[in-house]
Amino acid sequence: MTSQQKQNTGDRLAALRGELQARGLDGFIIPHDDEFQSEYLPPSAERLAWVTGFTGSAGIAAVLKDKAVAMTDGRYTLQIAREVESSLFATANMMETSAGEWIASNAVAGAKIGYDPRLHTESDFKQMQRVLKAKKIELVPVDSNPVDAVWAARPAPPATTVTLFPESIAGRSAADKRGIVAKGVNDNGAAAVVLAEAVSVAWLLNIRGKDIDFNPLALSYAIVHDNGEVDWFIDGARVPADVRQALGNQVVVRAPADLEKVLGALAARAKTDDKPVMIDSGRAPVWFSNILKKQGAEVLHAEDPCLIPRACKTAQEQQAMINAHVRDGVAMVRFLKWLDEEAPKGGLTEMDVADRLESFRRMDPACLDLSFDTIAGWAENGAVIHYKASADTNKTITPPGMLLLDSGAQYLEGTTDITRTLAVGELKGPQAVNMKRDFTLVLKGHIGVAKARFPEGATGGQIDGMARAALWGMNKDYDHGTGHGVGCYLGVHEEAATITPRGARSFKAGMVISNEPGFYKKDAYGIRIESLVLVKEDGVREGSSKKMLAFDTITMCPIDQRLIEPDLLDIADIEWLNAYHEKVYQTLSPHLSAAENQWLLQATAPLKKNQGLNPGALPVISPAPVIA
């Protein structure tokens, strides 16, 4: 952090404390989340970054009169230490210590700690309340956010025009989806459900927007009633005639300023009908429950009924996602060929690499955006799990070494997310031995997940150990999950089943999940291998009617065989890798030039145990999807 940045942060912290004192508050909690629980935020909602300087996508801060803390999870521990001024903020891993626990240990008994009820889910709020109540510390809701009051140049909230998502890709009409959600409302005996996450509103109405980078969302709320009618809270000027016509008169566009009034009317109707109002307490701001309860309504805490239907892609969405990965694979091969030619010369920087990869993706007019900031980490920067190169950190690639490249794109057909760890230059010596060993251990975990077959009902917690077993055998591990859900031209991080030690949701056919084990040697290098897999049915368990499921890898891009130590792989691992590379070659080659095909042929050459790379003819497999 520069001296100017330190001064700016210090001035902002002082201004916030002054505002808190004026309001009679002894502290304030600043989550990363916005009003819609978004992962990526519009500039107007970057309150955590504005106050603390921390720019990661997960975190929380607590500011007291004389102390402050900024917290994040294991993905950003190195980044937060670099970005946050240690003389102003302590830092902590929020997976080990919660914000509530930190406040309980550092605030005096009787302290009044402010919170913005539009930014905290009810479940998070109740967890903090339990911890602080035991210490006689009071949580006080604020009507307006004190950070906004002192943020003089705060950007205006986004107001982009809403567009339709094609029903031909969605596989269901908005009316069909309203029926699915209304059934969930009626099955729970409720009057309505409040949808507080913009991603659920986008899925429900088959609409998209450009309110935030990377996620094609229009930030808005919706109420779905038991008869399938919807109140949609968004500035009407943002909704063009074609969208209104497609949605019909059962979707009423209402001004956001009318939300509290409409909630009051809903509460009155629900009370009259003796029905509760459904809210997902883990995904909706506590503000909604407060308003409904204040008006006398019963609140039923139930999971967002859009979540599972959104995660289980329709047949049309599945094919669209496959097609998107063909497009992305073509861009990746063109980029990797360029990188192999240019990087060994030296002189390229991490930012050069990220920019060039984006340019290859945008050669395809179907690429509408990236799905997140590209992570291009050279050498020790690769060990920063969610690294983003900046002017201060931008390394020059000086061979030999390893480059970790995590990237993705938003195509109208689907969302991609891919990580490849790449050799640059000829790796030699003891460090090279360590790199190849660790890369191969990660690869074994990646293959273990990719090959997994399991009965319906299996969870991510049961699969996660397959990714870590080889690393555990060498006393190694990684501090992030192995897999997350991915949307269809929606969020790159979607709440399907997750592959984590605590993953409790069961896999269902049609889900798209990442497979991304890794290993990070601090101050040396980082390794991650990530592809997306489609959950598919794969037979029936013997002696039972229970379906078996499996993962089908849909990411189409070679894995760098120069980093593999073949003797650490068993025959089944090599067979999987060779079959995958066959599929990559056969799928992508029809869309590439002769020179690009020659590069891909070498990159996907069969690997043989004890013999290293063995270029040769590739057998023909099923035809590739055609890029329109």
Torsion of CA 277, 280, 285, 291, to 10 degrees: 10
- Determine the Cα–Cα distance for residues 73 and 83; give it in Å rounded to an integer: 15
Q: Is residue 581 helix, strand or coil?
A: helix
For the segment 72-121, what is each residue's pLDDT rounded down to a tens digit? 998 888 889 989 999 999 999 999 999 999 999 999 999 999 999 999 99
Which whole number is the average pLDDT over 416-428?
96
What one-letter code names the amino acid at 550?
A
Q: What is the pLDDT of residue 78?
A: 82
Phi-psi region of 443 (alpha: psi -120 to 50; beta: other; left: phi over 0): alpha
Tokens at residue 602, please?
Answer: 């070498």
Burial class (CB in 10 A: 0-12, 13-18, 19+), 135: middle
Q: What is the pLDDT of residue 74?
A: 82
Residue with tokens 């930030």: 219
Separation of CA 376 from chain center:
17
Is pLDDT above 60 for 611? no
Confirm if 17 and 65 have CB atoms less than 8 A apart. Answer: yes
DSSP state of 154: P
Burial class (CB in 10 A: 0-12, 13-18, 19+), 3: exposed
**Closest-CA residue to 189 (of 273, 275, 271, 270):** 275
- Determine the Cα–Cα distance for residues 349 and 355; give it in Å rounded to an integer: 10
Q: Is residue 59 helix, strand or coil?
A: coil
301 pLDDT band, cuts 50/70/90, is very high
Phi-psi region of 174 (alpha: psi -120 to 50; beta: other; left: phi over 0): alpha
- Determine the Cα–Cα distance for residues 318 and 313; give it in Å rounded to an integer: 6
Tokens at residue 283, please?
Answer: 């995904």
Q: What is the pLDDT of residue 385?
A: 87
Phi and psi at residue 317, to the nearest 5°: -65, -40
Q: Is residue 294 helix, strand or coil?
A: helix
Q: What is the pLDDT of residue 620?
A: 30
- Determine the Cα–Cα distance for residues 360 and 10; give it in Å rounded to an integer: 41
- Determine the Cα–Cα distance for residues 195 and 185; give it in Å rounded to an integer: 12
For the segment 210-242, what is each residue's pLDDT rounded down to a tens digit? 999 999 999 999 999 999 999 999 999 999 999
Confirm if 209 and 163 have CB atoms less than 8 A apart. Answer: yes
DSSP state of 570: -
Confirm if 479 and 522 have CB atoms less than 8 A apart. Answer: no
Q: What is the pLDDT of residue 613?
A: 41
For the segment 315-357, what is each residue's pLDDT rounded down to a tens digit? 999 999 999 999 999 999 999 999 999 999 999 999 999 999 9
What one-letter code names the amino acid at 178?
R
2 pLDDT band, cuts 50/70/90, is low
For the segment 454-490, what is each residue's pLDDT rounded down to a tens digit? 999 999 999 999 999 999 999 999 999 999 999 999 9
Confirm if 356 and 337 have CB atoms less than 8 A apart. Answer: no
388 pLDDT band, cuts 50/70/90, is confident
Mean pLDDT of the chain: 94
Tokens at residue 360, please?
Answer: 């290859």
Residue with tokens 């090599």: 574
pTM of this structure: 0.92
Q: Which residues contact 306 (CB under 8 A, 6 or more apart)?
A: 177, 181, 195, 200, 203, 204
For the segment 312-326, what is each residue's pLDDT rounded down to a tens digit? 999 999 999 999 999
627 pLDDT band, cuts 50/70/90, is very low
Identify the structural domains of the chain with CATH numbers, from first to last: 3-150 (3.40.350.10), 163-310 (3.40.350.10), 312-613 (3.90.230.10)
**Closest-CA residue to 498 (of 545, 535, 448, 547):** 535
CB environment 532-541: b (16+ within 10 A), e (fewer): bbbbeeeeee
Tokens at residue 551, please?
Answer: 């993962």
Query: Who has greater pLDDT, 428 or 624?
Result: 428
DSSP state of 229: -
Which whole number is the average pLDDT over 560-577?
97
- For residue 295, what are the β-bridge partners? none
**Closest-CA residue to 34 (of 63, 58, 8):** 58
Tokens at residue 116, please?
Answer: 């913005």
Concatenate the DSSP letters of all residues of 3-32 into one string.
Answer: HHHHHHHHHHHHHHHHHHHHTT-SEEEEES
CB environment 374-383: b (16+ within 10 A), e (fewer): bbbbbbbbbb
- Please tell me whether the peptide bond between 400 and the residue prior to it is cis, using omega within 30 degrees of 0: yes
First vs last C-alpha separation in the chain: 47
Q: What is the CA radius of gyration of the chain?
A: 25
**Closest-CA residue to 480 (of 568, 419, 553, 556):** 419
Q: Is residue 471 helix, strand or coil?
A: helix
624 pLDDT band, cuts 50/70/90, is very low
Q: Which residues contact 29 (CB under 8 A, 6 or more apart)?
A: 60, 61, 62, 99, 103, 113, 114, 115, 120, 128
Tokens at residue 303, please?
Answer: 């999971």
Q: What is the pLDDT of residue 392?
A: 87
**Closest-CA residue to 515 (of 550, 541, 545):** 550
Is pLDDT above 90 for 432? yes
Strands (E) across 395-467 are located at: 401-407, 409-411, 414-415, 418-424, 453-455
Lowest mean pLDDT among 67-71, 177-181, 193-197, 495-499: 495-499
255 pLDDT band, cuts 50/70/90, is very high
Tokens at residue 459, please?
Answer: 């969870």
Number of CB atoms found within 10 A of residue 396's CB: 11
Is pLDDT above 60 for 614? no
